[in-house]
């Protein structure tokens, strides 16, 4: 009897885990007040100072000569919801940033930072008080790379479309100049762009209180 109960418990546990993964595979939006919202698709749409996410699966559809547009718009609104970007603590999303077959970075989140006119989307590569951020470039470019500590203006380490030379190394030495462990790592022979997450990790662990 106990063996049967144990087997049933294991089956229920596995089913629950599979169900959770099926619903949260696209990501979770964590709010500053503790609320969490599961994303049913990977789509995130900025609407002024709000972010629209889909709470139910929704596939973009087209209309013929505008027929059915009202119904599609209502479905779009019914299956999605809006949250204030200022109230978002973190967006937990995982993925890969690639150029062709080349892996640039793995990312662990998405955040939105407002410039003078609108919110821009950044991928979070390394998290902490200091974050390593990546922003998509134009169609033919790769990615722009930034670091940001707290709510300060993101500091540019590499600009999309300016080549892959050692500019990121020179700029990293400026930003992390007062952190000896980070500088020691940057100054080692053969420092690579792919090692920037390690620099940010050292900065967070060794030089920020």
In a domain, 95, yes or no: no
The answer on 147 and 75 residing in a single domain is no
By residue range, what is the domain housing residue 158? Answer: 100-209
Distances (CA, A) of 148 to 71, 106, 137: 43, 18, 18
- Helix H, strand E, coil C: the string for the chain is CHHHHHHHHHHHHHHHHHHHHHHHCCCEEEECCCCEEECCCCCEEEECCEEEEECCCCCCCCCECCECHHHHHHHHHHCEEEEEHHHEEEEEEEEEEEECCEEEEEEEEEEEEECCCCEEEEEEEECCCEEEEEEECCCCCCEEEEEEECCCCCEEEECCCCCCCCHHHHHHHHHCCCCHHHHHHHCCCCCCHHHHHHHHHHHHHHHCC
In a domain, 30, yes or no: yes
> Dihedral of CA 14/20/21/22: which sign?
positive
Summary mean pLDDT of the chain: 84
In a domain, 83, yes or no: yes
The answer on 199 and 112 residing in a single domain is yes
The answer on 71 and 159 residing in a single domain is no
Q: What is the pLDDT of residues 188-209, one digit of tens each?
A: 988 999 999 999 999 999 999 7
For the chain, what percent of residues have pLDDT higher than 70?
Answer: 78
The answer on 160 and 71 residing in a single domain is no
Position 64 pLDDT exceeds 50? no
In a domain, 94, yes or no: no
The answer on 110 and 165 residing in a single domain is yes
Of the listed ranges 30-34, 112-116, 136-140, 156-160, the least confidently predicted one is: 136-140
Q: Count up the domains in the chain and report the number.
A: 2
pLDDT band at 52 (very low <50, low <70, confident <90, very high): very high
Residue that finishes a domain, picked among 47, 67, 89: 89
The answer on 208 and 150 residing in a single domain is yes
Q: What is the pLDDT of residues 109-132, one digit of tens each?
A: 999 999 888 999 999 999 999 999
Position 148 pLDDT exceeds 80? yes
């Amino acid at each position: 009897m106990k063996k049967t109960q144990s087997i049933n418990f294991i089956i229920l546990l596995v089913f629950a885990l599979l169900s959770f993964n099926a619903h949260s595979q696209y990501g979770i939006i964590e709010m500053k007040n503790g609320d969490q919202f599961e994303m049913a698709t990977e789509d995130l749409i900025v609407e002024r100072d709000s972010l629209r996410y889909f709470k139910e699966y929704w596939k973009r559809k087209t209309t013929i000569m505008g027929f059915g547009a009202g119904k599609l718009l209502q479905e779009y609104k019914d299956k999605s919801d809006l949250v204030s970007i200022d109230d978002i603590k973190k967006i937990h999303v995982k993925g890969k940033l690639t150029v062709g077959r080349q892996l640039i970075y793995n990312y662990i989140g998405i955040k939105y930072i407002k410039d003078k006119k609108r919110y821009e989307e950044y991928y979070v590569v390394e998290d902490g008080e200091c974050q390593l951020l990546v922003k998509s470039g134009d169609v033919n470019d790769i990615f722009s790379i930034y670091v940001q500590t707290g709510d300060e203006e993101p500091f540019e380490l590499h600009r999309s479309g300016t080549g892959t030379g050692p500019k990121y190394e020179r700029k990293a030495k400026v930003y992390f100049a007062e952190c000896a462990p980070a500088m020691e790592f940057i100054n080692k022979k053969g420092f690579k762009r792919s090692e920037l997450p390690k620099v940010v990790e050292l900065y967070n662990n060794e030089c920020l209180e």
